[in-house]
Chain A
């Protein structure tokens, strides 16, 4: 089965070691995700594309316990088979905190400040039979 990204330009693709694609302000070095053309810190209109760090620490988290409404959610929204998933912000050192799915959905196994690493996870299968991939962070230990 072929794999395709949920959207072009969000993370490097294809890649064995994926990275999120963000923007950095050319005036004040502020880092943003996803890419954007203006800087909310210094109001500059000049940003350039950068690849973000693959590793960071968990800043906060929750567990999505019920199926998000579909649309827009593209994953499994069947209440009978829905699997809760983790969502959090991972702080990438010296860059920014990115909101992300987490591969872990057990509250006992998640804690603020734990080390995390970027990975890609299957979200759904599209009409062409391709596996659509999105990004998530996974605990490194």
Chain B
């Protein structure tokens, strides 16, 4: 720990899935849980960054949490909303501006696939669907790197198995390979149980200057890196009516490199990871894009269970987006929440063995944005 490090000292969550509460109120539940976890009061918060994609302006929740006059900034950055809130909180502390504050993400979406807000020829003609992008990206990737459809099925099987060990997950029922393979084809080669669904939920993370962390917890977790990157010319991203003829690295590769550089660590130093799994192919591609394997190596890793909780490199230990659903504003912080539990040894039935010391998160979303964090105890 160096003196300018940032520590996570409290985490809170409202269960993902479907709830009678508004999205905002689920955020409030998460905040109260995080405050209790850190043993602090809302009035102790010097600042907040918060956001949702579809459940209102985060700063209005002060009317329920307490009108303390704190600096509260709304963050809106698609699937990287939570990651962006975390990045902003991290810098607010690292810069020396503040000592203690909170990052909040929550959401509530309608049932079914995300509705696209595109009334031009593009949406009218039946394009502009995120599911199509994922189908097209993995279809090409599978051919390029010899990945089988069974690898896709294995990712889903693992997600639902891990979800069944997570009391906060939405989908807690394990699913057989056969059930996954027989589910409806939505966007070739991806079937219903290869996809996550829009959902609801909220997460809050309390952070402070590292040298003050022991005031709040015996087991602070240090945020070694938080990086967000947008797409560069030539990358293949969601919702793109055209792509450049040349190939460029996507935002995941850029955010990953930036994160590792910031932390002074490499992929080989990570003990586990939560990777964006909007669908099972995304987890496969993101394993390589984040530097955890070579392209094509995933086939063997999945067949040998290397990314299972007890495997060489556990991935999506809480069931990922597949078992938790995707409340856009909260999804990235859910990954951080899980990693904090894992590093503190509080993950219960799904605890990664041998006291993991480092953990990685990665989110990806429209229109081509990635956020990465690296945590260490």
Contacts and interface: CB of A to CB of B under 8 A. Distances in A.
Interface of A: 6-7, 10, 22, 30-34, 40-41, 59-66, 68-69, 71-75, 85, 87-89, 91, 94-101, 107, 112, 123, 134-135
Most chain B C-beta atoms within 10 Å of own C-beta, residue among A32, A65, A85: A65
Contact of B126 (A31, A68, A88): A68
B121 A94 contact: no
A69 B130 CA distance: 12
A89 B143 contact: no
Contacts of A96: 242-245
A126 B242 CA distance: 27
A30 B244 contact: yes
B209 to A, nearest CB: 39
Given A60-B137, A61-B136, 8 more contacts: A31-B245, A62-B187, A65-B185, A66-B184, A69-B113, A87-B132, A87-B136, A89-B136
Interface string B317-337: 000000000000000000000
Contacts of A62: 132, 135-136, 139, 187-190
B-side interface size class: 35 or more
Contacts of B116: 68-69, 72
Contact of A87 (B113, B119, B126, B140): B126
Most chain A C-beta atoms within 10 Å of own C-beta, residue among B120, B137, B240, B241: B241
A107 B125 contact: no
Contacts of A65: 184-188
Given A62-B135, A65-B184, A65-B187, A134 B241 contact: no
Nearest to B135: A62
B96 interface: no
B166 to A, nearest CB: 28
Given A60-B140, A61-B139, A66-B186, A74 B132 contact: no
B124 A97 contact: no
A34 B115 contact: no
The 4 tightest CB contacts between A and B, nearest first, are A72-B123, A62-B135, A60-B140, A7-B121
